[in-house]
């Protein structure tokens, strides 16, 4: 064992949930360490080449996510890693806005914000598991180039995306659907050399081939929406090519695991981020299966490139610029927490006195069969995310932030998205700092005081 370090708050996993948690904890006065296996921050938003944040608004256009997540967007705009408007209207209609983000600028912005808040970064480091005292998590075992060591902490925030710490500590959890099968895994890549204005003309002439205005709350036809598109920025998250995908599949030119392609525009002219590979029946917490997904994903990338070149006007000269470092794992474990966000809570837009954030993205599940199912929130509303979704049952000293919070499958299909997990992260970090300050454990923290603090710090609660 190379050594031991004692801190107030340890955040495991530097995806956007972990980043927001670490910034909030450090600003709250806690000595905070943020650790990740990669050499940079951002998780799926950077390593996964995701390319956007969904979503800061409900379908009525009200902003439901502010605080640290909005500060990150403001910094991205200032650094040239987001469009000047930040949030763009989303003609797709699965959310009111989408916020395209440049992965390289996001790595830089998140690092600066963390260091500015006083967070100590421990990168290139794998977290092996929790350190326990009875049923309490008191730190974690880590391994890196210096060897193995321990970081002891008064509160541990598990932002690993997979609940690695909470589950090894004994928290009950669900993995995927009733049969344990999870959503498809994707490998993102970017195509360069794309003529997006030519492509937009094709969309306007063929609106029935694209998803436009999906949420019934919008109340407009595809044709009406297509007629209003002026530049490619009016349709930042493109999805469709239904007939072309069918045709290509019949000819063996496209994998059989999706019925449509998806890509988002980027701040770099002629470059798009493609979300169209799909690997089914593989778990993101089984290394053999994850390896298989990586191998299949790389094969699919070049077939998908050829599909775009052949079927998508404006993509004839497109080439693969790069592919993601991390596999795009949509779903693995969801902890069973003291409170659980349910499908009905989201669909009905329920809010409560224990909410620490809001969600508004549609309930988006990529079924193990390959079929993508969406449910929508009634009346263009948002729903509340209660504090207890971060509190794993049977385990003390640990908060879980990010996509693995306690939620049923469809609720998770919404709350896993970036704006929502960033809001959860800010709440987890703030709660952890308050626990350190007051000598409390997360379960004992008065939620009304946490909500006051979050509200003071600009969050929507
Ligand atoms: C294919 C795909 C498409 C998506 N599309 C969108 C979209 O268009 N818009 C949107 O807003 N959201 C989208 N999402 C959802 C969103 O990207 C994720 O739900 C979100 O990234 C979850 O954030 P997180 O911080 O919980 O986890 P992650 O982003 O996964 O971050 C977890 C971090 O923990 C680290 N880590 C994990 N385990 C360990 C360990 N043992 N030791 C050290 N480090 C560890 C990882 O390296 C990573 O950096 C998509 C997700 C996928 C997979």
CA of 225 to the centre of ligand 1 (A): 31
User: With 80 as the cut, is the pLDDT of residue 346 above it?
Assistant: yes
Q: What is the per-residue pLDDT across 219-228, written as a single tens digit (0 to 9) for each?
A: 999 999 999 9
Claim to verify: residue 112 and residue 39 sit in the same structural domain: yes
Distance CA 444, CA 86 (A): 38
Give per-residue burial for 205-234: e unless 16+ CB within 10 Å, then b. ebbebbbbbbbebbeeebeebbeebeebeb
Q: What is the per-residue pLDDT across 245-261, written as a single tens digit (0 to 9) for each?
A: 999 999 999 999 999 99
Mean pLDDT along residues 329-339: 97
Q: What is the per-residue pLDDT across 185-221, written as a single tens digit (0 to 9) for each?
A: 999 999 999 999 999 999 999 999 999 999 999 999 9
Specify if 93 maps to a domain: no
Mutation to probe ligand 1, out of 10, 14, 15 (largest number of atoms < 8 A from CB): 15
Claim to verify: residue 382 and residue 425 sit in the same structural domain: yes
Who's near 252: CB < 8 A, 6+ residues apart? none
What pTM did the predictor assign?
A: 0.98
pLDDT confidence of 370, banded at 50, 70, 90?
Answer: confident
CA of 418 to the centre of ligand 1 (A): 8
Claim to verify: residue 152 and residue 264 sit in the same structural domain: no
Claim to verify: residue 352 and residue 298 sit in the same structural domain: no
Q: With contact defined as beta carbons under 8 Å apart, do 408 and 346 qualify?
A: no
Q: With contact defined as beta carbons under 8 Å apart, do 162 and 333 qualify?
A: yes
Q: Count the neighbouring beta carbons within 10 Å of the beta carbon of residue 269.
A: 9
Q: With contact defined as beta carbons under 8 Å apart, do 408 and 402 qualify?
A: no
Query: Whose Cα sits closest to atom 41 in ligand 1?
Result: 127
Claim to verify: residue 114 and residue 26 sit in the same structural domain: yes
Q: Count the neighbouring beta carbons within 10 Å of the beta carbon of residue 444.
A: 10
Claim to verify: residue 204 and residue 264 sit in the same structural domain: yes
Specify if 30 maps to a domain: yes
Maximum C-alpha span of the chain: 65
User: With 80 as the cut, is the pLDDT of residue 1 above it?
Assistant: no
Specify if 373 maps to a domain: no
Q: What is the per-residue pLDDT across 47-105, written as a single tens digit (0 to 9) for each?
A: 999 999 999 999 999 999 999 999 999 999 999 999 999 999 999 999 999 999 999 99
CA of 352 to the centre of ligand 1 (A): 27
Give per-residue burial for 170-200: e unless 16+ CB within 10 Å, then b. ebebbbbeeeebbbbbbbbbbbbebbbeebb
Claim to verify: residue 153 and residue 207 sit in the same structural domain: no
Q: Can you tell me which atom of ligand 1 is nearest the CA of 185?
A: 1
3-state secondary structure of 370: coil
Specify if 94 maps to a domain: no
Q: By C-alpha distance, which of 285, 238, 412, 428 is closest to 341?
A: 412
Q: How many domains does the chain have?
A: 2
Q: By C-alpha distance, which of 64, 91, 26 is closest to 415?
A: 64
Claim to verify: residue 130 and residue 203 sit in the same structural domain: no
Claim to verify: residue 104 and residue 169 sit in the same structural domain: yes
Mean pLDDT along residues 2-11: 92
Please give the angle made by the CA atoms of 99, 276 and 347, to the nearest 5 degrees. 55
Query: Whose Cα sits closest to atom 16 in ligand 1?
Result: 417
CA of 153 to the centre of ligand 1 (A): 24
Mean pLDDT of the chain: 97
Q: What is the percent of the chain with per-residue pLDDT over 70, rounded to a whole number?
A: 100
User: With 90 as the cut, is the pLDDT of residue 416 above it?
Assistant: yes
Give me the residue label for tokens 């959860």.
424
Specify if 420 maps to a domain: yes
Tokens of 239: 């999805």
- Residue 344, pLDDT score: 98
Query: Whose Cα sits closest to atom 45 in ligand 1?
Result: 13
| Residues contacting ligand 1 via CB (< 6 Å) | 13-18, 36-38, 43-45, 47, 50, 52-54, 126-127, 159-162, 164, 186, 275, 328-330, 402-403, 416-418, 421
Claim to verify: residue 69 and residue 171 sit in the same structural domain: yes
Claim to verify: residue 162 and residue 120 sit in the same structural domain: yes
Q: What is the per-residue pLDDT across 266-300, written as a single tens digit (0 to 9) for each?
A: 999 999 999 999 999 999 999 999 999 999 999 99
- Residue 406, pLDDT score: 98
CA of 271 to the centre of ligand 1 (A): 22
Q: What is the per-residue pLDDT across 128-175, written as a single tens digit (0 to 9) for each?
A: 999 999 999 999 999 999 999 999 999 999 999 999 999 999 999 999
Claim to verify: residue 189 and residue 222 sit in the same structural domain: yes
Question: What CATH number has the domain bearing residue 83?
Answer: 3.50.50.60
User: With 90 as the cut, is the pLDDT of residue 119 above it?
Assistant: yes
Q: Do β-strands 272-274 and 261-265 pair in parallel, antiparallel, or remain unpaired?
A: antiparallel
CA of 420 to the centre of ligand 1 (A): 12
Q: In terms of residue numbers, what domain contains 272? A: 185-329
- Residue 368, pLDDT score: 87
Distance CA 382, CA 160 (A): 26
Q: What is the per-residue pLDDT across 15-24, written as a single tens digit (0 to 9) for each?
A: 999 999 999 9
Mean pLDDT along residues 103-132: 98
pLDDT confidence of 369, banded at 50, 70, 90?
Answer: confident
Specify if 312 maps to a domain: yes
Specify if 372 maps to a domain: no
């Amino acid at each position: 064992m190379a050594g031991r370090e004692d801190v107030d708050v340890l955040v495991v996993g530097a995806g956007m949930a972990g980043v927001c948690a670490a910034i909030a904890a450090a600003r709250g006065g806690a000595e905070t360490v943020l650790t990740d296996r990669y050499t940079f921050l951002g998780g799926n938003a950077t390593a996964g080449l995701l390319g956007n944040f969904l979503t800061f608004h409900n379908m009525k256009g009200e902003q439901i996510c502010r605080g640290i997540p909005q500060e990150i967007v403001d910094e991205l705009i200032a650094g040239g890693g987001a469009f000047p408007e930040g949030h763009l209207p989303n003609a797709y209609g699965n959310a009111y806005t989408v916020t395209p983000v440049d992965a390289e600028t996001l790595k830089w912005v998140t690092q600066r914000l963390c260091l500015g808040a006083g967070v100590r970064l421990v990168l290139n480091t794998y977290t092996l598991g929790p350190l326990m005292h009875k049923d309490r998590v008191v730190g974690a075992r880590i391994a890196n180039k210096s060897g193995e060591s321990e970081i002891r902490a008064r509160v541990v925030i598990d932002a690993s995306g997979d609940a690695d710490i909470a589950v090894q500590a004994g928290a009950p959890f669900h993995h995927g659907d009733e049969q344990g099968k999870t959503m498809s895994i994707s490998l993102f890549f970017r195509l360069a050399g794309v003529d997006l204005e030519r492509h937009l003309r094709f969309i306007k002439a063929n609106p029935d081939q694209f998803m436009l205005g999906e949420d019934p709350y919008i109340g407009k036809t595809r044709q009406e929406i297509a007629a209003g598109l002026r530049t490619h920025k009016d349709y930042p998250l493109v999805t469709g090519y239904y007939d072309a995908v069918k045709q290509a599949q019949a000819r063996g030119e496209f994998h059989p695991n999706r019925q449509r392609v998806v890509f988002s525009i980027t701040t770099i002219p002629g470059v798009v981020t493609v979300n169209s590979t799909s690997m089914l029946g593989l778990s993101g917490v089984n290394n053999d299966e994850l390896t298989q997904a990586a191998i299949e994903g790389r094969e699919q990338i070049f077939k998908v490139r050829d599909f775009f070149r052949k079927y998508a006007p404006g993509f004839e000269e497109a080439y693969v610029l790069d592919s993601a470092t991390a596999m795009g794992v949509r779903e693995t474990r969801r902890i069973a927490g003291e409170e659980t966000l349910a499908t009905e809570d989201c669909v009905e837009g329920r809010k409560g006195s224990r909410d620490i954030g809001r969600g508004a993205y549609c309930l988006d599940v990529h079924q193990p069969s390959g079929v993508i199912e969406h449910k929508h929130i009634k009346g263009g509303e948002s729903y509340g995310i209660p504090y207890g979704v971060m509190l794993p049952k049977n385990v003390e000293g640990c908060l879980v932030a990010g996509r693995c919070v306690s939620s049923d499958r469809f609720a998770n299909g919404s709350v896993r998205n970036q704006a929502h997990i960033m809001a959860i992260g800010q709440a987890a970090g703030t709660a952890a700092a308050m626990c350190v300050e007051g000598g409390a454990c997360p379960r004992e923290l008065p939620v009304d005081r946490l909500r006051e603090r979050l509200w003071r710090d600009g969050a929507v609660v």
